């Protein structure tokens, strides 16, 4: 129920803001708006405000919306009202009205990011877990437990790293840009810093997923190698493990942290799927114990890995990330610009085959993320809304017929040639745009189903 409510609220808010941008710009340019609709299909609720000719409508299918303006191309217009029609407006006014929808979404994202910055959000401290074997982080000299103070691209000025989330964002941007990232780390927070370089330019980045961060070697923040919730029918319960057990050694090897322990569990299986027993030295209520644990094999992406049926790793140390009024707003502008550019970059990489179409997400994945973020608290949900708002704004500016960017493309043609696109070509382009959008929606829906099946 929470997932559904969070999804409907998110979709309704983002669509309403987008259409309100068109609506306010139309009124500012002297265009009469006939209908302001959230959703398509059968109207569920409609009303008019005194002295306002616009009909406001909420419809049954909340997967979009529209602002219907007075327009001679859609229906005959009373000559006395011709000056209020959209099609009679100068080119700059029509372009402004069309661009106002995506602009409203981008402005909303700025405000949402700023609001989170002002409220503050709990995020893991930028302390690194043990790097994956043979990863870039291990090659760079990281061993786990390091506190990351600053990062920088090439010769750019170093930026402070307030949290592990901020670090992941910097890693993602650097990987997509194909540039190495400099890190300043210390063995403990506030300690003496040393500089090292992550050669991210060596990565072939096609998807922003867990495998990418595995190759980097920076997967999760540092956490104590502690056993969490234990499944009643799992290998951990069968071995006598309990929630709260602290693991010191596995087969005589010292365990550095939760990430290291998870890696050792995954390795406890033979190449053909045969389980391999391990000797765990643990601490429970101040007493040292030794238990035999036999992780159960599970086939994952064609590879056998071990599972124990328990949550592994204590909760990481957290920090509250908060900014002042001005800094919070400036950070909101900067984050919106960064996410917009990253979105465009990913679209470009997918079009050129440098990134996988598996990065596309549809309504099922968005609904799932909406529910998850809402369950984590207000700040997490606001960040989710900001991300989707940026995506909606940027995607609508793409030069595809049926989208706002397609109309702006027509206006650019009109500005250059002095004449509008012919009705024949308009119809042809609309068909092409519809085919492209249907194809993209089908791919996104397929990806959703594949994620659920996986």
Judging by beta carbons within 10 Å of its beta carbon (0-12, 13-18, 19+), is residue 232 exposed, middle or buried?
A: exposed
- Which pTM value belongs to this model? 0.84
Q: How far apart are alpha carbons 218 and 164 in whole angstroms?
A: 10
Residue 120 has pLDDT above 80, yes or no: yes
Q: How far apart are alpha carbons 291 and 277 in whole angstroms?
A: 10
The CA distances from residue 168 to 218, 375, 435, in Å, are 8, 22, 36
What is the model's pLDDT at position 389?
93
Share of the chain above pLDDT 90, in %: 49
What is the model's pLDDT at position 2?
67
Q: What is the pLDDT of residues 9-59, one digit of tens each?
A: 888 889 999 999 999 999 999 999 999 999 888 888 889 988 888 999 998
Q: What is the CATH number of domain 136-216?
A: 2.30.42.10
Q: Where are the domains of the chain?
A: 89-120+324-454, 136-216, 227-312
Question: Which of 301, 163, 275, 298 has its CA nearest to residue 221?
Answer: 163
Residue 3 has pLDDT above 60, yes or no: yes
- The reply to whether 19 belongs to the active site is yes
What is the model's pLDDT at position 264?
93
Q: What is the pLDDT of residues 261-299, one digit of tens each?
A: 999 999 999 888 888 899 999 999 999 999 999 999 988
What is the model's pLDDT at position 453?
54
Question: Which of 272, 264, 326 has its CA nearest to residue 297?
Answer: 272
What is the model's pLDDT at position 111?
96
Local confidence band at 70 (pLDDT 50, 70, 90 cut-offs): very high
- By three-state DSSP, how is residue 13 classified? helix
Same fold, 136-216 and 227-312: yes
Question: Which of 110, 120, 108, 151 has its CA nearest to residue 10?
Answer: 108
CATH 3.30.420.40 fits 227-312, yes or no: no
DSSP annotation of 226 reads B
Q: How far apart are alpha carbons 149 and 193 in whole angstroms?
A: 8
The CA distances from residue 172 to 58, 124, 151, 166, 376, in Å, are 39, 17, 13, 10, 23
What is the model's pLDDT at position 378?
84
Residue 448 has pLDDT above 60, yes or no: no
Local confidence band at 210 (pLDDT 50, 70, 90 cut-offs): low
Where helices occur in 284-422 by DSSP H, the ranges are 325-351, 363-376, 378-396, 404-417
Q: What is the pLDDT of residues 393-447, one digit of tens each?
A: 998 998 888 889 988 998 998 899 988 887 788 778 778 877 877 777 777 666 6
- Mean pLDDT across the chain: 87
Q: Which residues of 358-373 are buried (b: 16+ CB within 10 A; e: fewer)?
A: ebbbbebbbbbbbbeb
Write down the catalytic residue from 19, 195, 283, 338: 19
What is the model's pLDDT at position 201?
87
Residue 176 has pLDDT above 90, yes or no: no
pLDDT mean over 85-111: 95
The CA distances from residue 377 to 119, 169, 327, 361, in Å, are 12, 21, 23, 23
72: Cβ contacts below 8 Å, ≥ 6 apart? 82, 85, 87, 88
Q: Which residue has the higher pLDDT, 386 or 435?
A: 386
Indicate the range of 3-12, 130-139, 220-229, 353-362 predicted with least confidence: 353-362
pLDDT mean over 89-116: 95
Q: What is the pLDDT of residues 321-375, one digit of tens each?
A: 999 999 999 999 999 999 998 888 877 777 776 666 666 665 666 666 666 776 7
What is the model's pLDDT at position 43?
86
Residue 148 has pLDDT above 90, yes or no: yes
Share of the chain above pLDDT 70, in %: 91
What is the model's pLDDT at position 36?
94
Q: How far apart are alpha carbons 423 and 449 in whole angstroms?
A: 39
């Amino acid at each position: 129920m929470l997932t559904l409510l969070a999804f409907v609220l998110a979709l309704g808010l983002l669509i309403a803001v987008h259409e309100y941008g068109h609506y306010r710009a139309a009124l500012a340019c002297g265009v009469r708006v006939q209908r302001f609709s959230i959703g398509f299909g059968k109207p569920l609720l409609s009303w008019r405000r005194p002295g306002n000719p616009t009909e406001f409508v909420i419809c049954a299918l909340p997967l979009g919306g529209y602002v219907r303006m007075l327009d001679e191309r859609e229906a005959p217009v009373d000559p006395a009202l011709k000056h209020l029609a959209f099609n009679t407006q100068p080119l700059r006014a029509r372009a402004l009205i069309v661009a106002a929808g995506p602009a409203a979404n981008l402005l909303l994202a700025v405000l949402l990011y700023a609001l989170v910055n002002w409220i503050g959000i709990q995020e893991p401290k930028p302390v690194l877990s043990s790097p994956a074997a043979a990863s870039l982080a291990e090659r760079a000299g990281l061993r786990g437990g390091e506190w990351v103070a600053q990062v920088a691209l090439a010769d750019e000025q170093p930026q402070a790293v307030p949290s592990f989330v901020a670090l992941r964002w910097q890693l993602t941007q650097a990987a997509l840009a194909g540039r190495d990232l400099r890190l300043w780390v210390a063995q403990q927070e506030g300690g003496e810093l040393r500089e090292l370089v992550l050669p991210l330019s060596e990565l072939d980045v096609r998807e922003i997923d867990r495998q990418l961060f595995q190759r980097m070697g920076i997967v999760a923040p540092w956490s104590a190698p502690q056993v969490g919730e234990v499944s009643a029918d799992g290998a951990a319960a069968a071995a006598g493990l309990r929630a709260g057990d602290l693991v010191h050694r596995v087969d005589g090897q010292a365990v550095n942290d939760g990430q290291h322990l998870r890696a050792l569990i995954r390795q406890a299986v033979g190449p053909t799927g045969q389980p391999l027993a391990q000797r765990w030295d643990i601490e429970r209520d101040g007493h040292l114990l030794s238990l035999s644990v036999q992780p159960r094999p599970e086939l994952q992406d064609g590879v056998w890995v071990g599972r124990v049926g328990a949550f592994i790793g204590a909760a990481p140390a957290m920090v509250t990330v908060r900014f002042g009024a001005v800094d919070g707003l400036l950070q909101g502008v900067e984050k919106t610009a960064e996410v917009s550019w990253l979105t465009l970059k990913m679209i470009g990489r997918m079009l050129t085959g440098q990134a996988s179409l598996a990065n596309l997400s549809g309504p099922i994945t968005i609904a799932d993320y909406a529910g998850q973020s809402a369950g984590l608290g207000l700040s997490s949900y606001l960040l989710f809304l900001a991300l989707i708002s940026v995506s909606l704004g940027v995607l609508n500016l793409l030069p595809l017929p049926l989208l706002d960017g397609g109309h702006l493309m027509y206006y650019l043609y009109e500005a250059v040639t002095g004449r509008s696109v012919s009705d024949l070509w308009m119809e042809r382009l609309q068909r092409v745009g519809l085919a492209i959008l249907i194809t993209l929606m089908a791919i996104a829906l397929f990806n959703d189903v594949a994620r659920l099946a996986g």
